[in-house]
Amino acid sequence: MIRFNLSCMVIVGMVAAYVQGAESVINLDKLSQVKISALSNYTPKKNIDIKKAMEWPLEQVLKRYQKDYKVSEEVAKVHERELKRYLIISAEISPDTLKMFSPEVDNFWHTFLLFTNEYEKYCQENFGCFLHHIPKIIE
């Protein structure tokens, strides 16, 4: 499991602030507060354009996910948003460090991976590298 240091918390706040369209305040164990403005559309370490990654259209992926998992458009869009957040944070801190937090979001990722050309383009244009899906090995 990843330990969230100040840098990681700032990234999480930036992505959340962008999605919410407002300012986010992250309380770091009552030691300090970091205000992150939605105007900060780039991650601090790798300069990932949060707005571009979050607004990337995935219409075909959404339709396929709705069909395969029998979820509403609203639910599918929530899973899409959360996957994009996860991928941004993962690309920023280290792709093999952050564990997947939700089976539903992981399923959305699986669906996105079926569209290999689109997934590769999304990764290359937003993160500059291909983010591999590393499955959890159940022992």
- Other Cβ atoms less than 10 A from the Cβ of 109: the count is 22
Give the range of the structural domain holding residue 69, as residue numbers without chain letter. Answer: 6-127
- Answer whether residue 103 is part of any domain: yes
CA 80, CA 54: separation in Å to the nearest integer?
9
Rounded to the nearest 10 degrees, what angle do helices 59-69 and 103-114 cross at?
120
30, 41, 50, 83 from 131: Cα distances, Å: 34, 21, 16, 12
pLDDT greater than 50 at residue 129: yes
pTM, two decimal places = 0.75
pLDDT greater than 60 at residue 113: yes
Number of domains in the chain: 1
pLDDT tens sequence across 33-57:
434 445 579 999 999 999 999 999 9
- Answer whether residue 74 is part of any domain: yes
- Answer whether residue 133 is part of any domain: no
